[in-house]
Amino acid sequence: MARQLATAVIPSELAVILRSEATKDLLFVSHCQPRGEDNRSFASLRMTTTALDPVLPVRHIFAMTTTTAPSTLKRTPFYEKHLALGAKLVPFAGWEMPVQYPQGVIAEHKAVREGCGLFDVSHMGEFIIRGPRAVDFVNYVTTNDVAALTIGQVHYSTILNDRGTIEDDCLVYRFPDKVMMVVNASNIDKDFAHIARHADKFGVELTNVSDDMGLLALQGPNAAAILQPLTDVDLSSIKYYHFAEGKVSGMPMIVSRTGYTGEDGFELYHDVQYSSRLWDSLMRAGDVTPAGLGARDTLRLEMGMALYGNDIDDTVTPLEANLGWLVKLKKGDFVGKPVLDDQKANGVKKKLVGFTLPERNIARHGYPVFAGDQASGVVCSGTLSPTLGIPIGTAYVPTELAKEGSVFEVEIRGKRVPATVAKTPFYKEASHL
């Protein structure tokens, strides 16, 4: 049954999932009407909400950047599969996506940690770069060293602007004859326009193939055993963050040993004409649990993996975001390098850290953070870890407080609670650690 919430002050670009303080029901903000025309500013929103199944034992906010009306939301090629399974579908980055299935987020999370889960991540964007200088081009528009990749290797990277702040995080794939970039769904058009400005200088052909490519992520310690009988690719020969081209159930596929969960697993890139058959083939192959955005978020947070729009955005640099390992300053020039050179030489004033809280004090996205008596931003991500059973989160704090064991405070429902800086990943038993 739909409920009306009182007017709340939140960013007008955000739709959120939240728990009602009064009923503890899981609510989804299905409509936000901004006040004023500037979507970049905080505005008062009147929110119509619809109750979801109360499966989460925590009051977890899952921020979703979307301003798209429900009638214009895109649908992945697996939309009908999600409907048939009874998934709760929500707007996410302009797409109608499953946040959970009837078994609930905790069951889906556990399935990935202990067995195998299947995620539809077809909303992600893919760009293909061709030309003799394709590697040079991607090296210039991203921070990691693309030239150091071998054929069949993948790496994680960031796309910066001239201010040195993060336009997006991405994956980069090196093929024999091309390079592929994989970007976040909410940033596809922005990213494409941002990097296309430099294409002529390198003489490359840049193509956005996002609408033609489906993507499933088979994740968990049993993923290889389930996938191997279906493919002609020797999965044991694919190292973590490497890929191969082959067939799965007779369908052409890019089989990538990557994921957003910390567990072993494979991301399967394919032409959308094969999507429905691929889903059916994987679901029949063994004990595979369909999993939605809710579990994807709790899994990645346990691993300390950044979420664009929460932990990183265009107000922070990779060095501030604890992503310095993605920045190769010695590789040559790239967009944003002068700013990072300066930060490397002079240090940064704030850093992204992981933290834990005592007992069941759950820090949620947007909660105020304090370093001593000084405000220090807000909680970026926060939840009760389903695996560890403890409250975890991320926030930016002054650099002098970024050391493991340092203490700052998070304001939770009007009360300041001590938070302890913790080394990430929070969960240290994942199959790819």
Rounded Cα–Cα distance for residues 298 and 109 (Å): 7
pLDDT per position as a tens digit, 176-196: 999 999 999 999 999 999 999
Q: Is-contact 423 354, C-beta < 8 A?
A: yes
**Is the pLDDT at 75 greater than 60, yes or no?**
yes
Rounded Cα–Cα distance for residues 303 and 422 (Å): 12
Q: What's residue 66's pLDDT?
A: 41
**Is the pLDDT at 53 greater than 70, yes or no?**
no
Rounded Cα–Cα distance for residues 109 and 58 (Å): 14
| Percentage with pLDDT > 90 across the chain | 82
**Is the pLDDT at 63 greater than 80, yes or no?**
no
Residue range 45-72: mean pLDDT, rounded: 41
- One DSSP character per residue, 243-281 reads EEEEEETTEEEEEE---SSSSSEEEEEEEGGGHHHHHHH
Structure tokens at 188: 């596809």
Rounded Cα–Cα distance for residues 144 and 326 (Å): 5
CATH number, span 68-306 = 3.30.1360.120
Residue range 276-297: mean pLDDT, rounded: 98
Q: What's residue 68's pLDDT?
A: 47
The CATH architecture of the domain made up of 307-422 is: Beta Barrel (2.40)
Q: Find the Cα–Cα–Cα–Cα dihedral 84, 88, 93, 96, rounded to 10°.
A: 30
- pLDDT bin (cut points 50, 70, 90) of residue 22 is very low
Q: Return the SS3 of 210.
A: helix
Q: What's residue 432's pLDDT?
A: 83
pLDDT per position as a tens digit, 201-246: 999 999 999 999 999 999 999 999 999 999 999 999 999 999 999 9
Q: What's residue 29's pLDDT?
A: 32
Q: Return the SS3 of 394.
A: strand
Residue range 278-306: mean pLDDT, rounded: 98
Other Cβ atoms within 10 Å of 52 Cβ, number: 20
Q: What's residue 433's pLDDT?
A: 64
Q: What's residue 360's pLDDT?
A: 83
Q: What's the one-letter identity of residue 421?
A: V
Sheet holding 251-256, edge to edge: 243-248, 251-256, 265-271, 213-219, 117-120, 289-291
**Is the pLDDT at 340 greater than 70, yes or no?**
yes
Other Cβ atoms within 10 Å of 132 Cβ, number: 9
Average pLDDT, the chain: 87
Nearest CA to 91 out of 186, 166, 175, 170 is that of 186
Out of 23-32, 120-129, 268-277, 280-289, pick the least confident: 23-32
Q: What's residue 359's pLDDT?
A: 84
**Is the pLDDT at 23 greater than 80, yes or no?**
no
Tell me where in the chain the CATH 2.40.30.110 domain(s) lie: 307-422
CB crowding 150-170: b at 16 or more within 10 Å, else e: eebebbbbbbbeeebbbbbbb
Rounded Cα–Cα distance for residues 212 and 126 (Å): 9
Structure tokens at 166: 């993060």
pLDDT per position as a tens digit, 258-284: 999 999 999 999 999 999 999 999 999
Rounded Cα–Cα distance for residues 363 and 381 (Å): 8
**Is the pLDDT at 67 greater than 60, yes or no?**
no
Q: What's residue 69's pLDDT?
A: 53
Q: What is the pTM of this model?
A: 0.85
- pLDDT bin (cut points 50, 70, 90) of residue 71 is low
Q: How far is CA 431 from CA 16, 49, 219, 261, in A?
A: 31, 38, 10, 10
Top pLDDT among 363 and 38 is at 363
Please tell me what DSSP assigns to residue 6.
P
Rounded Cα–Cα distance for residues 173 and 156 (Å): 9
Nearest CA to 13 out of 93, 121, 70, 98 is that of 93
Nearest CA to 143 out of 334, 343, 351 is that of 334
Which are the contacts of 159, defined by CB distance < 8 A and separation ≥ 6? Answer: 141, 142, 143, 166, 167, 168, 169, 170, 183, 191, 194, 195, 335
Per the listing, tokens 């893919």 go with: 126
Nearest CA to 263 out of 308, 218, 297 is that of 218
pLDDT per position as a tens digit, 302-332: 999 999 999 999 999 999 999 999 999 999 9
Q: What's residue 9's pLDDT?
A: 29
Tell me where in the chain the CATH 3.30.1360.120 domain(s) lie: 68-306
Q: What's residue 34's pLDDT?
A: 30
Other Cβ atoms within 10 Å of 374 Cβ, number: 9
Structure tokens at 351: 């850093």
Rounded Cα–Cα distance for residues 123 and 79 (Å): 11
Residue range 21-43: mean pLDDT, rounded: 31
